[in-house]
Amino acid sequence: MTEYTDLLERVVAPDGTGRTVSDPATGEAIGAVLEQDVEALDAAVARAKAAQRSWAALGHAKRSELLNAVADRIEAESEPLAELLSREQGKPLNGPNARFEVGACSAWLRAAADTVLEAETLVDDGQTRAVLSYKAAGVVGAIGPWNWPLMIGMWQMAPSLRMGNTVVIKPSSNTPLSVLALVSIMNEVLPADVLVPVTGNRTVGARLAAHPDVAKVMFTGSTAAGREIIKGSAANLARLTLELGGNDAGIVLPGTDAKAIAQDLFWGAFINTGQTCAALKRLYVHDSVYEQVIDALKEVTATMPMGNGLDEANVLGPIQNKSQFDIVVGLVEDAKSRGGRVITGGSPASELGALFYPVTIVADLKDGDPLVDEEQFGPALPIIRYTELDDAIASANGLDVGLGASVWSSDPAVAREVAARLEAGTVWINQHGTLHPMAPFGGVKASGYGLEFGVEGLKSVAVPQVING
């Protein structure tokens, strides 16, 4: 098996060149990454475009065979990939973190490779026969985030490649090395130029979204950045899948067993130390179980160690970058100034390192408080008391985002009734943020549009064609 250092050596810039990438847990330099420019991006798209027809011509069966072979290679290199990811992103090896993320890469890749998308006969009445099928779009531009760089990158790459597209992938500037390493492993199996990585700043990402030879753009990131992607892609009418910001609400109904849901509530909110688009970010709890839920969450939090991700004992890590750290600090300080009751945490864990912030639960907040209304994207959870269910539902629906939501109840039937009233792309019951490669995932309102995963995900990276006759 490749060692971590061998894997890193494949993708770092030569000594004395590139931009330094640091470990958020320690501040130590990991290596440097090349900062490519728009000309390099144009060359990458040209290579991918030239390779696309022959890749599509291989057919679904051969592409699926190759993608399963790629999954084998990822599994063989899973440990050094997880170590590099932990060092670069900060997430621990254990828990639902680095090893989990690498495992998800191969799982989602196999699911995309093996999912069948059959042609559909729409009309066959003896006079007219219309058949709907899906063909490759062309070159897909994939622009990824820093929170789950490998897994979300695979969500973009796997279905695109499966459908016969070629892919130009630009990782986040915060976490480029782990994505480059993943791509290098994949390219041991894939034909040349089917998958081309490009690094660089936002100018490079903007050019990828606006490139006239890019037929489809997949982007995961902030709503503000998503709007710029839409503007940039307008000239060439590229198809878009946008998974944008969220501020997922959870509603705990009266009569719910607080201890029974506490562990799942915790991970719904604090997976990846809260740095997850579809994490639980504001929790509305009925007055009758309010203090019980707070106490149960406090008990669970006390059992979750935080620290350097390479320490096998830890399951929570640092905030990945200083700008996000500052956002979390600012929102918590504001909540405290408004009378928020700090249940756990509440100030930086500077004894662990510069970017560590402990799990922070702040009770007695209300709609309109910034920690409630603004996406914190970190380990801080506001808890809001309610007495009338209609008010809680109105609050959950009151923001211009709708990625996910959840309902927590000892009565699943009642929970499903409430779930149907929530404005979100996915609503979970007695869980939050759990995903399945065959269950479509996407947002509504300012959380974006387009679906990923399963059959619908394959359709989203293809173009429909109807043959009449």
Task: Choose the catalytic residue: 77, 277, 375, 452.
Answer: 277
C-alpha span between 154 and 229 (Å, rounded):
20
Sorted by sequence, the CB contacts under 8 Å of residue 234 that are 6+ apart come out as: none
Query: Is residue 105 among the annotated active site residues?
Result: no
Measured CA distances, 397 to 239, 374, 384, 424 (Å)? 28, 14, 14, 8
Distance between terminal CA atoms of the chain? 54
- From the list 77, 88, 101, 243, the catalytic residue is 243
Dihedral sign for Cα atoms in the order 401, 226, 449, 246:
negative
| 409: Cα within 13 Å, side-chain hemisphere | 17
Cα distances from 143 to residues 69, 149, 348, 415, in angstroms, run 24, 10, 31, 36
Give the span between the Cα atoms of 223 and 277, in whole angstroms: 11
CA dist list (Å): 51 to 45, 166, 168, 462: 10, 7, 12, 17
CA–CA separation, 372 vs 374, rounded Å?
A: 6
Chain-centroid distance, C-alpha 54? 31
Phi, psi of 251 (to 5 degrees): -125, 120
- Residues marked active site are found at 243, 277
